[in-house]
Structure 1
Amino acid sequence: MTQIDDPWHMLSGEERMFCEVLERICADRIAPLAAETDESSRFVHEQLATLGEAGMMGANLPEAYEGGGISAPALLRAVSIVAGACGSTASALTAHYLATDSILIGGTDGQKQEWLPKAASGEALGAFALTEPTAGSDPADMKTRARRTEKGWHLKGSKCFISNGGVADFLVVYAVTDPDKGHRGISAFILPRGTPGFEAGPPERTMGLRGGHVFTINLDCELPANALLGEEGKGFRTAMQVLDNGRIEVAAQCLGMAKAAMDAAIGYAKERVIGGIALSERQGIRWMIADMGLAYRSALLLSQEAARQRGLAHEHGGRFSLASSMAKLGASEAAGKIADTALQLHGGYGYTRDFPVERINRDLRIMRIYEGSSEIQRIIISGNMLA
């Protein structure tokens, strides 16, 4: 493949090697577990341990905190590789990134030194606790409260749909510390596992991503003063910056699963013979394949541009919310169409659990909902365009 044909030509040689090794690890040790994970709904502890060995649990973090220190485009590629092998594993991994990004962006030096190296090695799994029953798309309407006490803080409330929430070693919990200040009255707290007053319900029974569990959590906790993440009142700003990153990682998951579905469909079309002719020789099937390829490449280019802007923002400051929202919206909707087309191309077999496209379709459906639904992304995009 020449550079002009290589969609990942911007990666360094070291990053390419990292991704090639990761591809082999995922093919050998993670993809073979995907179907059984889906059937059993068992959390992906084993797969995350494998990713810890491979350096993926801290791939989003700088080398100063034992992270991978790779570029944003390389991280996009790496997350897509994991997602192509197992959507549940990628979901749990990127939820962990939301927690560690929160500490990296909003935490003190001491908090970063305490938590990030453990998170990067896989010793400590994180969760990001923002969403509430009445505050999903609008976090500023959250009801969870944190009140100052003589010893620190009293945290009280509930969160829902928290990925990793019941199995994490630490959670970054967002709560209102000053109700009179709106979103400027939101702060974040680090909540270690085992804190008295923390209670997680059973995993939700989800349509897809069955090995990447989401939980409702209830909070009535006393926390020390140093549990406050960074400065009081800066939680909303931290969360929005974290979600800029996270939406690109959702796009990466979509790219990985969409490519897995597309590759499965192309392979099936070449092998499936009807009336003495392979499906791949029929014009209608070729048009379906072309449409999948066009949708995939369009989503990839949007996502790579968002990753490029993420890298620039990391170096020079600034936000990349528009690019991030476009990538998340474009990739999630394209992936849904690609996976649906791949299932259609398989015919009745695609509707059975014997073929991976059935699972991929279910796993992808949430991508148009979490970390800001498609409708919310359209509001963000149009707001930027009209400003």
Structure 2
Amino acid sequence: MDFSFSEDDVLLHDSVRRFAQAELKPVAAEIDASGRSATRHRAGLAELGIFGLNIPEEEGGPGVSAIGLFRAVEAIAEACASTASMVTAHYLATDSILLGADPDLRRTILPRAITGEALGAFALTEPRAGSNPADMRTRAIREGDGYRLTGVKHFISNAGEADFIVVYAITDPSAGHRGISAFVLDKSTPGIEVGPPENTMGIRGGHVFEVALDCFVPAARRIGAEGTGFRTAMKVLDNGRVEVAAQCIGIAQAALDAAVDWAKQREVGGHPIAEFQGLQWMIADMATELDAARLLGYRAAWKRHKGERFSRDSSMAKLFASEAASRIADAALQIHGGYGYTRDMPLERYVRDARIMRIYEGSSEIQRNIIARMVLEER
């Protein structure tokens, strides 16, 4: 593997990080405490072109490399994980359309999504179908020149604020995962009911919702042919897992930086605690894990950019980065001692924000299943 950062990648990362540190970081604690939606940042993010970073130039996007996208998400998460979650949920929705829809539907939806004028939500998970989408109960039954969608989706990021929702539903109950199809619905469609935001432990500004469906959707809003939804969703989740890894690395970087700064400032017995060998070993482990996670993420992003198969790489990156982020955030809090346990400092927020990363876009256990299956097949 031989990857490097292009000049465009570097410029993008620098501009996004400057914005994130100036605009997102100062209000991240307030968003967390109040539970206000991170969509308050939509205008600024849209001005930077953030909402279209995953869209290639031929589809009207900026044509950013997958590594450039990765580093942009990392920079946002380093400042505010809630905002990164909101942005990457939008990418899941637009990736569904980009990877599965015909040209007419792409032209209908993507231009406004790229500019941030329209925010997307990705509705795959259900109360009884989380890790195994083939267990979903949401149905799409033919009705005239379209479909009647009925069912309930759960933990759907952005659904309350979204302008469109990509919904996965069963069109052929006898076909297992081959009977899943995908649709894009305008949020204003009659028969879509969005509940209040869930009261989550972390990522409190990246709102998630329950969505109840009993609505009609025209056949022209189906994403691809009937029965292709599962394949589209799996491709989208490959992308999404790389972006989760980027979020983890952003959170972990913020935690490590806070720990290093504190170790240099905090004195015990007249000496900065950074001089104590035991603490130095903690920082060494944190930095090593962070670099390993980052490199796994870069490898997955590089393969994605090259058009190579990267399912195993994305699962490895997501698994390792999500578990490393929790360890790094916890160690950073430990280095701060009792101060780290207070809400006057961001350490406890980093711990809470990192925790969901081991669950969404496929739990750590699911990632291990995927990795093991692929390694065994390769042998």
Shorter-chain TM band: over 0.9
1:48 equivalenced with 2:36 (yes/no): no
Tell me which residue corresponds to 2:331.
341
Aligned equivalents of 2:31 and 2:188: distance in 1?
27
1:379 maps to what in 2?
A: 369
Taking the TM superposition and a 5 Å limit, the aligned residue runs for 1:269-348 are 269-313=263-307, 319-348=309-338
> How far apart, in 1, do the equivalents of 2:219 and 2:332 lie?
53
Residue 215 of structure 1: aligned partner: 209
Letter in 2 for 1:94: T
Quick one: which of 230, 234, 241 aligns to 2:228? 234
* Cα deviation code 1:332-355 (max 9, x no counterpart): 001110000000000001011111
Aligned residues of 1:38 and 1:210 also touching (Cα < 8 A): yes
Residues 9 and 149 of structure 1: is their aligned pair in 2 closer, same or farther, counting only changes over 3 Å?
closer
Percent identity of equivalent pairs: 58
Contact kept, 8 Å, 2:39 with 2:86, in 1: the verdict is no
Residue in 2 that maps onto 1:186? 180
Matches within 5 A, 1:140-289: 140-289=134-283
CA distance in 2, matches of 1:289, 1:351: 19
Alignment correspondent of 1:4 = none
Partner of 1:3: none
Query: 1:13 aligned to 2:15?
Result: no
Aligned AA for 1:35? A
Output the aligned Cα RMSD.
Answer: 1.1
Q: Aligned-pair distance for 1:10?
A: 1.2
**Partner amino acid, structure 2, of 1:361:** V
Partner residue in 2 for 1:28: 22
Instruction: Report the Cα distance in structure 2 between the residues aligned to 1:66 and 1:278, rounded to whole angstroms.
Output: 53
Q: In structure 2, how many angstroms separate the alpha carbons of the residues matched to 1:83 and 1:102?
A: 23
User: How many pairs were matched up?
Assistant: 376
Shift of 1:166: 1.6
- Structure 1 runs of 4+ with >4 Å offset: none
Question: One-letter code of the match for 2:87?
Answer: L
> In the aligned structure 2, how far is the partner of 1:11 from the partner of 1:116?
27
Inter-partner Cα distance in structure 1 for 2:372 and 2:269: 50
1:343/1:358 contact within 8 Å kept: yes
Is contact 1:56–1:68 with CA below 8 Å preserved after alignment?
Answer: no
1:265-289 CA distance string (max 9 Å, x none): 0001011111110011111110111
By how many angstroms is 1:13 displaced? 0.8
Helix, strand or coil: the match of 1:57? Answer: helix
Deviation at 1:9, TM superposition (A): 7.5
* Residue aligning to 1:82: 76
**Secondary structure in structure 1 of the residue aligned to 2:223:** coil
State how far apart, in whole Å, the 2-side matches of 1:48 and 1:270 are.
36
Secondary structure of the corresponding residue to residue 154 of structure 1: strand
Q: Summarize deviations over 1:276-324 as a string: whole Å, max 9, x none.
A: 10011111110111010111011111111111111122xxxx5311001
Note if contact 2:3-2:302 (Cα within 8 Å) is conserved in structure 1.
no
Provide the C-alpha distance between the structure 2 equivalents of 1:181 and 1:82, rounded to a whole number of angstroms: 41
What is the rounded CA distance, in whole Å, between the counterparts of 2:111 and 2:351 in structure 1?
35
Letter in 2 for 1:307: A
Q: Is the 8 A contact 1:127 1:164 kept in 2?
A: yes
> Does the residue aligned with 1:280 lie in a helix, a strand or coil?
helix
Q: Aligned-pair distance for 1:363?
A: 0.5
How far did residue 197 of structure 1 move?
0.4
Matches of 1:230 and 1:319, distance apart in 2: 21
Q: 1-side partners of 2:313 and 2:218: how far apart?
A: 38
> Structure 2 counterpart of 1:190, which letter?
V
Letter in 1 for 2:362: G
Give the C-alpha shift of residue 117 in structure 1: 1.4
In structure 1, how many angstroms separate the alpha carbons of the residues matched to 2:48 and 2:153? 32
1: distance between equivalents of 2:226 and 2:50?
31
User: Given that residues 37 and 207 in structure 2 are in contact (C-alpha distance below 8 angstroms), is that contact kept between their aligned partners in structure 1?
Assistant: yes
Q: Is the 8 A contact 2:9 2:67 kept in 1?
A: no
Residue 115 of structure 2 is aligned to residue 125 of structure 1: no
SS of residue in 1 equivalent to 2:26 = helix
Query: Cα deviations across residues 15-44 of structure 1 (Å, max 9, x unaligned)?
Result: 211111111111111111100000110111
> Could you say what secondary structure the match of 1:127 adopts?
strand
CA deviation after TM superposition for structure 1 residue 116, in Å: 1.0
Paired AA for residue 218 in structure 2: P
**One-letter amino acid matched to 2:145:** K
Contact 1:66 1:121 in 2 (8 A): no
